[in-house]
Amino acid sequence: MATRFGTSEQMHSSKQMRTSKQTLALLNALVAKPTQWHYGYALSRETELMSGTLYPILMRLEERGWLETQWETSEALPEDRAGRPPRHMYRLTAGGRAWATEALAAARGASKSKSARATLKPARQHTRILLGDPELERA
């Protein structure tokens, strides 16, 4: 089925969604307690994401089928919340947990390879100096 995001196959492909630092922070918070319902405000505090950043990410995850949402029911409201409006709750679906785990692992791997490349650069430069690289001698 085609949607504004592409085919349903593309929607569920982890390669189709860019995982920004903000998305990774949210995924990290959701994966920490994957079966628990989370409130937007609590996620905002935990991830330090502003609502203008957090809620669009939550909506994209829900549209892709990786997040399920529900409204807090009035029966489930604690006494201290009586009379207050219900809150929207979020949690990862089974597919969302698998995708989130994969995305976080890929981000950790990318982070490790970046730091490995950064530590190799001085060593390569040192080798070029020892081998008498003419470009380095001119600099």
Give helix 21-32 / helix 51-63 axis angle, nearest 10°.
70
User: Taking a C-beta distance cutoff of 8 angstroms, is the pair 58, 90 a contact?
Assistant: yes
pTM: 0.66
Q: Which domain holds residue 57?
A: 2-114
Which pLDDT tens digit goes with each residue over 36-90? 999 999 999 999 999 999 999 999 999 999 999 999 877 766 777 777 788 899 9
Q: What is the CATH number of the domain that holds 12?
A: 1.10.10.10
Would residue 83 count as lying in a domain?
A: yes
Would residue 132 count as lying in a domain?
A: no
Would residue 126 count as lying in a domain?
A: no
Total domains, the chain: 1
Would residue 138 count as lying in a domain?
A: no
Look at residue 6 in the predicted model and tell me its pLDDT: 42
Which pLDDT tens digit goes with each residue over 105-128? 998 887 666 655 555 445 444 444
User: Taking a C-beta distance cutoff of 8 angstroms, is the pair 37, 90 a contact?
Assistant: yes
Would residue 134 count as lying in a domain?
A: no
Residues in the chain: 139
Would residue 133 count as lying in a domain?
A: no
Would residue 58 count as lying in a domain?
A: yes
Would residue 135 count as lying in a domain?
A: no
